[in-house]
Amino acid sequence: MLRQISEDVRVNLKDRLRELRDAIRQSRHDRAGETSRDIIDNLPPFPGRSLLGHAASAVDEALTIAESFVPHSRPLKVDGTTVKSLRTYFPQGDEDRQMSGERQFRRDMYYLTRAVLAGLGIENPRVHEASFSAVHAAMRKRHADLLAAATGPAASTDQIASACSALLVECLNHRPVQLGETGSISGDRSFDIDCLAPVVLACGLATKGETPEPDILEIALLATEVREDRIRQAVAQANAVQELTPVLATLLAHLT
């Protein structure tokens, strides 16, 4: 229990530090666009305000230098090979294996989601690892039966699709991605589906396939874009997991 509390604190701290780093970068004096200018202009007058952008630049560069001396678990390249199967993220076994799966899950989901957002041309998104930790916990608590079936040695396409449907619904409910400096997004789920559905489908493809392929994420992005209307209609239903399962099952069958 103490280990889990410590891990939760660490993940939340990482999210807060990332937000601080983003705010600093947006205030750099040499940043392209008008965002940094808008931030400074909205501040009340004070002595030396003109130096704020240069100060932000200096702090950002100092943090960059400091990061170079700190070991990172960041993947060298984020593509389809970054995606792991449900068996990796939700393993059977003791607490150590479960915690290892949770760490791998939130780490991969964070970087994969940012990769999808970059492909969609979204600038300065805020992706919270803590939300993916909550998603992992919700899956284990609410959908243990679906995970057990999907991670079995003879899991069918429908069983994998059902678990992935539950995973997408939980991701949409916890909303790990936020936009803009205010961190707010509209109540419309279209944006959430655009950036989260490709990652979940890629996870399903990795679960069904023998080895991860570099283009899995790109394929998943294109496939979910084509079926966005069907996905959006399914998740709007009261029995979202049941309605979404045949949609993802069809995609998994055609893409593998």
Q: pLDDT digit string (tens) for 153-201? A: 889 999 999 999 999 999 999 999 987 544 445 456 889 999 999 999 9
- Residue 42 CA from chain centroid, whole number: 31
Share of the chain above pLDDT 90, in %: 51
Q: What is the CA radius of gyration of the chain?
A: 20
39 plus 63 within the same structural domain: yes
Count how many residues are written for the chain: 256
Contacts 24+ apart (CB under 8 A), 10-19: 11/106, 11/129, 11/130, 11/133, 12/130, 14/129, 15/128, 15/129, 15/130, 18/126, 19/126, 19/183
Q: Is the domain of 59 the same as that of 100?
A: no
Domain that holds residue 129: 80-255
Residues 94, 57 within the same domain: no
Residue 72, in any domain of the structure: no
pLDDT per position as a tens digit, 62-104:
555 544 444 455 665 777 788 999 999 999 888 889 899 999 9
Report yes or no on 173 lying in a domain: yes
Domain identity same for 84 and 62: no
120 assigned to some structural domain = yes
In the numeric block, the tokens 């394929």 are attached to 219
- Kindly tell me the sign of the dihedral angle through the C-alpha atoms of 44, 48, 52, 53: positive
Mean pLDDT value of segment 131-140: 95
pLDDT at 18: 59
